[in-house]
Every structure is written in C-alpha cells, then in structure tokens.
Amino acid sequence: MTKTSAPELVASCWTSAGDVAPLQRPETSPVPIADRLAAMASTGWSGFGLAHDDLAAAHSTLGFPALRKLIEGAGFHYVEVELLTDWWDETLSHQWRPQFDLLLDAAEELGARFIKVGTAFGETLDDLDFLVEPLRQLTIEAEKRGTRIALEPMAFSMVGRIPAAADLMRKVDMSGCGLVIDYWHVFRAGTALDELSASLEAHQIFGVELNDADAEISGSLFEDTRDNRRLCGQGDQDVPGFIKTMKSIGFDGPWGVEILSDEHRALPVAEALQQAHATALACFPTY
C-alpha cells in the first residue's frame, strides 16, 4: 500500500517552552526564541505556538518583523498565538484589552492562523449565551487583522465540554470563530469519542491538540493538566482512536501536540521536542 505524506505537526506553545509552566508570573520561556525555533526546525515540526508573555518579550526585544524573518527562514508553515481570557467582562477590559491588542498585532505580523482564547477556571456552566456577543466582537476584530478566534474548552473552566462549545459556535455563527479541540480536555471532561463525533462539525474545528494521560487524576484537575501529561501513546487514552474520530468528522491537520509535565519541562528543549514529535507521529499508523 502506498503511504501518504506524514502528518504536519505543530508544537503548541508549552511543548517548546522549557522550564516554565502556566500561571507562573511571567509565563516567559527561559529559552531564547531563536533557540526554540532552531530546535523545532531540527526536530521536524511544521509550526509552533507562542504564549502572550513570550510574544511580549519578543516584541520588546527582537521585534515582530525580525521574528517573522526567523520564522520564514526556518521554514515553518503554521503559527498560533495565545491565550486571552476575561474577554467577556468589560469591567476587566483594562486588563485583557492590552493583551488582545498585542495578540492581534502578533497574529497579523507573524501570519498566525488563529488567536486562542479561553474562559475562567471554575464550575462548568450550562448557559453560555452571555459569551455569544463578546465572541462575535472578538471575531470581527480578528477578521480585520487577517486571523480568526479559536476557543479552547477546558475541563476545569466555564466552557468545559466540547458538545456545549459546539452549540455555542452554532449560536455565534461566524466563519472566523471556531474551536481548538485538546484531547486532554475531551477525556478529562468525560466526553466519549462517539459523543464528540455526534456534536462537532468540521468547519468548527480550527485546531486539534494531541497528548496522553494516566487513567486516574493526580492532584487537582488543574495540577494534573499542568504537571502530568504523557507523551502520545504512553498513557491510558486512545490517541489513535481520537485521531481517527477527528478525521471522520473532517479534520486532517495540521495537528497540534501539547505536552505539559514536570518530566517534559526538565529535559533539554531539543530532546523534549524530539520525543514529543516522534511519539505523536507514531499514533498515525497509516500515513
């Protein structure tokens, strides 16, 4: 049987960040951006993501035009930028608005496929209608800058489950607003693969992120998410089955790989990237 070309893999921001974790202040990688790009290019990635604090650091030092030259020189095809929260709350606009402005600048100047947004940690909500108009407004601004808005449901946040997020996208009803489907939050929210395929439409899926996990949660759900992700195929989840499900819906890449763990952060970045790329690729058995 003739093989097709290998899947294109995108190193989500934490996969290449080195010894830094979400909610550290600042969330800035200790690895110089040029070194990160070189390490990703040498280990086979087709694209990458950067978090807000890394973008702010790059903007104030290197500058986005110089960063874009580095990206183009390394041959990357995909760029993602993240993460915006509190965007539904105008009383907090003094906090989130400057962050959004930077993300818009980064998306436009670096050619990002989308700006990833999230919602507040806490209880998952049933009524999400209050998010419809704010998402539309974000999307209008993003489209003016040549990019899109991608909401990532997270199992410990207001938008916690994919079926509810898909319903929200139908209410927003804008082609520039969609979802990032992180497999971690699929299984940690208890969403079965058949439920996933029944709830999602292909046009809603802007990005997919692969990872693996043990069957049992260790610590709080956030701690487990931050510290205990496994490389693809090295946990108890059905990564090949998830890939097959997403393909059956109509998604076929590029595929993000988001690895967050104490073990991953302790490795030299090039070694961590090589392991993350190789193990994710091994979960695509028929390319």
Q: Which two tokens stand for residue 47?
A: 């694209």
pLDDT of residue 285: 79
**1 in any annotated domain:** no
CATH of the domain at 176: 3.20.20.150
Indicate whether 137 belongs to any domain.
yes
Q: What is the pLDDT of residue 183?
A: 98
Burial of 39 (0-12, 13-18, 19+ CB in 10 A): buried
The pLDDT, as a whole number, for residue 1 is 41
* pLDDT for residue 228: 97
Total tally of structural domains belonging to the chain: 1
Phi, psi of 206, deg, nearest 5: -90, -25
Nearest-angstrom CA–CA distance, 189 and 212: 14
pLDDT of 2 reads 46
Q: Which structural domain, as residue segments, surrounds residue 85?
A: 9-281
The pLDDT, as a whole number, for residue 118 is 98
Question: Three-class SS of residue 208?
Answer: strand
Asked if residue 287 belongs to a domain, the reply is no
Strands 205-210 and 177-182: what pairing?
A: parallel
Q: Is residue 41 part of a domain?
A: yes
Asked if residue 254 has a cis previous peptide bond (ω within 30° of 0), the answer is: yes
Residue 144 lies in a domain: yes
* Rounded Cα gap, residues 149 and 138, in angstroms: 7
Across-strand partners of 180? 207
In a domain, 286, yes or no: no
Cis peptide before 153 (omega within 30 of 0): no
Rounded to whole angstroms, the Cα distance separating 182 from 152 reads 7
Structure tokens at 24: 């550290």
Per-residue confidence (pLDDT) for residue 4, from 0 to 100: 67
Does residue 61 sit within a domain?
yes
Residue keyed to tokens 């699929």: 186
SS3 content of the chain, % helix, strand, coil (to 5): 45, 15, 40
C-alpha of 245 from chain center = 18
Q: What is the mean pLDDT of each run of 10 residues along the chain (287 residues)?
A: 77 98 94 97 98 98 97 97 98 98 98 97 94 98 98 97 98 98 97 96 98 96 96 97 97 96 98 98 85
Asked if residue 4 belongs to a domain, the reply is no
